[in-house]
């Protein structure tokens, strides 16, 4: 797999371009590598063995590629994963309810802890295409909703800490639902 670039690289801030379908063999192979990396990074033994930071998702811009492709590997139960590959994803609807990950968010392209709550929609509906070029629609809630918003932000040159309120980085349970 290509190296993950960090937030010091200006490419991470660029707006990605739509991808033509079907995917090229190179992009498909890269997706398979990204999937293997994300699964390994969430496995405690493998992540320790290969010194991997745990990650739930990756976007092509994090590899220095200006393409609107994301992958999310969501462990919904111990050792069981749902895999989401979305090409040219768009959030087409969202809840009014706002949530935040209580522990904050992290990112494989940000090599430091950034404290603060990142307000996100509790539920989103995402449309895009799968690797075969079929139109797909995904309804995501809670942690998965946060992951989709985080990865789609990468396609627009936005990093999670851009969304932390500098004047009020933390919220109470009365202000926002923390998950």
pLDDT of residue 44: 87
pLDDT of residue 64: 96
Percent of the chain with pLDDT over 70: 100
Look at the pTM and tell me if it is higher than 0.75: yes
pLDDT of residue 76: 87
pLDDT of residue 79: 83
What does the H/E/C string look like for the chain? CCCCCCCCCHHHHCCCECCCCCCCHHHHHHHHHHHHHHHHHHCHHHHHHCCCCCCCEEEHHHHCCCECEEEEEEEEECCEEEEEEEEEEEEEEECCCEEECCCCCCECCECCCCCCCCCEECEEEEEEECCCCCEEEEEEEHHHHHHHHHHHHHHCCCCHHHHCCCCCCCCCCCCCEEC
Q: How confident is the model at residue 142 (pLDDT cuts 50, 70, 90)?
A: very high
Q: How confident is the model at residue 115 (pLDDT cuts 50, 70, 90)?
A: very high
Q: Are 138 and 84 within 8 A, CB to CB? A: yes
Q: How confident is the model at residue 16 (pLDDT cuts 50, 70, 90)?
A: very high
Q: Is 151 a catalytic residue?
A: yes
Percent of the chain with pLDDT over 90: 89
Q: Is the pLDDT of residue 77 over 90?
A: no
Q: Is the pLDDT of residue 50 over 90?
A: no
User: Which member of 48, 75, 142, 151 is catalytic?
Assistant: 151
Q: How confident is the model at residue 26 (pLDDT cuts 50, 70, 90)?
A: very high
Q: How confident is the model at residue 107 (pLDDT cuts 50, 70, 90)?
A: very high
pLDDT of residue 23: 94
């Amino acid at each position: 797999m290509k190296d993950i670039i960090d937030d010091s690289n200006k490419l991470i801030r660029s707006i990605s371009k739509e991808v033509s379908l079907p995917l090229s063999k190179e992009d498909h192979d890269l997706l398979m590598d990204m999937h293997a990396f994300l699964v390994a990074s969430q496995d405690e033994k493998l992540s320790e063995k290969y010194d991997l930071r745990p990650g739930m998702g990756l976007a092509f811009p994090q590899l220095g590629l200006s393409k609107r492709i994301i992958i999310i590997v969501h462990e919904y139960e111990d050792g069981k994963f749902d895999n989401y590959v979305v090409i040219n994803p768009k959030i087409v609807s969202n809840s009014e309810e706002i949530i935040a990950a209580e522990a904050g968010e992290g990112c494989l392209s940000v090599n430091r802890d950034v404290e603060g709550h990142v307000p996100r929609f509790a539920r989103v509906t995402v449309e895009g295409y799968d690797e075969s070029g079929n139109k797909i629609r995904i309804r995501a809630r809670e942690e998965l909703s946060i992951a989709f918003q985080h990865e789609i932000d990468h396609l627009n040159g936005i990093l999670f800490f851009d969304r932390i309120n500098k004047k009020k980085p933390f919220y109470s349970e009365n202000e926002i639902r923390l998950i």
